[in-house]
Amino acid sequence: KLQDRYEVVRNIKSGGMGSVYEAVDHKLASTPCAIKEVLASAMLGSSAAYVLQSFESEMRALAGLEHPNIPRVRDYFEIEGRRYIVLDLVQGQALDEELAEHLRLTNEPMDPAVAAVDMVSVLETLTYLHQCTPPIIHRDIKSANLIRDSRTGRIKMVDFGIARSVETQKAQTQVGTPGFCAPEQMGGRAEIRSDLYSVGATLYHLC
């Protein structure tokens, strides 16, 4: 149990920079939540500063946001050098998983009409982010970071690890997912329009 409050139920996914777990928040009516952890091993070596900066950026980007399509931050803490951020749990399938299952069952891509409606929802979420003060650029819009909430059908936007405010987007940093990010973003010059390009690329990928 973490912080004498969060009981980990299962590992949702793991990667080189950390893991995401499903947990139960015993101080908040035993409700489900998601805990994102940066592994100690990921903080060793020359990439440590980038990993920590990425994690801190996600925490700061999410903490001030209030939108039904963005998971709410519940808590943030550190234990023995490991960083944790606690979010509302999004229960459902990412659109890349949904696409893979659809292809397996039908050998066809997603229905363009369904995909278009989903992307309109994503654009509404981006409108909120881009109208923040200062505006926030997600920089990693793709099917893997869009989850269809199984209870509401809403498309939830996750993984703000490389999100930046326009104000702090000074240094040229080449980040993003090839195939989904705009040419200027690949050159380290992401802007608001770069997120819109990624929505288009995601729609193309799904269809």
Catalytic residues: 140
Are the C-beta atoms of residues 44 and 56 closer than 8 Å to each other? Answer: no
What's the token pair of residue 78?
């550190």
Residue with tokens 């808590």: 75
What's the token pair of residue 45?
């070596």
Residue with tokens 């650029």: 137
Torsion of CA 13, 138, 64, 87, to 10 degrees: -10
What's the token pair of residue 21?
């777990």
What single letter denotes the amino acid at residue 193?
Answer: R
Strands (E), 81-181: 82-88, 92-94, 136-137, 146-149, 155-157, 164-165
What's the token pair of residue 64?
């001030």
